[in-house]
Amino acid sequence: TVLVVGSANLDFVIRVAHVPAPGETVLGRDARAFPGGKGANQAVASARAGGASTRMLLALGDDANAAPIEASLQAAGVQPQVVRMPGEPTGMAFICVADDGENAITVAAGANGLLRADALPALDDIDALLLQLEIPLDTVLDGARAARGAGCRVILNAAPARALPDELLALVDVLVVNEGELVALGGHAGDLRRSLDAITVPCVVVTLGARGCVARVDGELLLQPAFAVDTVDTTAAGDTFCGVLAAALAQNLPWPLALRRASAAAALACTRLGAQASIPAAAEVEAFLGR
């Protein structure tokens, strides 16, 4: 079982000719609401990957935006444990996507900013705890401590990018970062090997967008190229990668296979618009890998 403790947002996506400059008003073509948030996206990816069951602890407001988020988690087969925050809005993201693919994103954490680890369930049947940084850092730290105490694997996707206390990194078994997040933690911008060497977590995976990923697993370097696809929208590629990787590691699949599945699922997520809506099911990933 994978337990995700993390964020859930309703993403309002508006398609525009160009991202507005300060003070400018731009008429968008269409606006749609999609369930998103790094935590919920990764939970959906883990559940769709199959092989392990997926639970999620999340905080929602008592407003109408909560319902589509819960519906999306349930449809994907995630077992959600919702902490309802009276008087708080559900997390929201406002995303402008321009025709050239450029975007501008603002996020209001809302209820996510109030999630506390005292709501954490018993961890006896949990194999892997999957965390990101869109909830309070104290909650992440408390969750990691509890998981370490219960003997379950701690997987941290250190996104969005920020520096982290050594105390947290010392509790992490598997760290997943993109290049910007790697530099925020390991320094040495432009020198991946040195940034990686500066991080003492036992297993570190660095995702490199269309260039694939590099992992250092207990001292051994593994490379997994990206799968070539026609890219429509890379939103949630990183989240899909993390969720599928967590599900694979919770099943004790070997690392090379886990990285291959995570990369294939992430590539498929790039071929479709939206966050959770774009995350493929296990059968699709199998078919893609066997093509």
x/- contact string, 159-178, with ligand ADP (CB under 6 A)?
-------------------x
- To the query of whether residue 239 is one of the catalytic residues in this protein, the response is yes
Selecting among 62, 142, 230, 239, the annotated active-site residue is: 239
> Rounded to the nearest 10 degrees, how much is the dihedral formed by the CA atoms of 111, 279, 261, 282?
110
Instruction: Please classify residue 72 by burial: count the beta carbons closer than 10 Å to its beta carbon, then call 0-12 exposed, 13-18 middle and 19+ buried.
Output: buried
**Phi, psi (rounded to 5 degrees) for 247:** -65, -40
Q: Which stretch binds ligand ADP (CB under 6 A): 24-32, 44-52, 79-87, 224-232?
A: 224-232
Q: Which stretch binds ligand ADP (CB under 6 A): 1-9, 189-197, 259-267, 279-287?
A: 259-267
d(CA 278, CA 258): 20
Residue 133 or 266 having the CB closest to ligand ADP: 266
Q: Which of residues 95, 196, 204, 226 is near ligand ADP by CB under 6 A?
A: 226
Exposed e or buried b for every residue in 16-43, given b needs 16+ CB within 10 A? beeeeeeeeeeeeeeeeebbbbbbbbbb
Q: Which of residues 51, 68, 89, 209 is near ligand ADP by CB under 6 A?
A: 209
The yes or no reply on residue 7 touching ligand ADP (CB under 6 A) is no
The amino acid present at 21, given as its one-letter code, is: A
The yes or no reply on residue 14 touching ligand ADP (CB under 6 A) is no
DSSP 19: P
Other CB atoms closer than 10 Å to residue 13's CB: what's the count?
Answer: 23
The yes or no reply on residue 156 touching ligand ADP (CB under 6 A) is no
Q: How many Å is the Cα radius of gyration of the chain?
A: 18
The yes or no reply on residue 208 touching ligand ADP (CB under 6 A) is yes
Structure-token match 């694997």, residue found: 153
**Residue 126 in tokens:** 């949990």
Contact 176, 133 (CB under 8 A): no
d(CA 259, CA 36): 23
Other CB atoms closer than 10 Å to residue 290's CB: what's the count?
Answer: 6
CB closest to ligand ADP, residue no = 238
Q: Which of residues 69, 130, 171, 266 is near ligand ADP by CB under 6 A?
A: 266
Please indicate if the annotation marks 287 as binding a ligand: no
The yes or no reply on residue 237 touching ligand ADP (CB under 6 A) is yes
Please indicate if the annotation marks 211 as binding a ligand: yes
Please indicate if the annotation marks 37 as binding a ligand: yes
| Cis ω before 160 (30° cut-off from 0) | yes
Q: Which stretch binds ligand ADP (CB under 6 A): 5-13, 72-80, 237-245, 280-288?
A: 237-245
DSSP 125: T
Q: Which stretch binds ligand ADP (CB under 6 A): 46-54, 107-115, 190-198, 266-274?
A: 266-274
Please indicate if the annotation marks 173 as binding a ligand: no
Please indicate if the annotation marks 209 as binding a ligand: yes
Binding site as annotated, residues for ATP:
178, 207-212, 238-239
Residues carrying an active site annotation: 239
Residues that bind ligand ADP (CB under 6 A): 178, 207-210, 212-213, 226-227, 229, 231, 234, 237-238, 241, 263, 266-267, 270
Binding site as annotated, residues:
9-11, 37-41, 134, 178, 207-212, 233, 235, 238-239, 269, 272, 274, 278
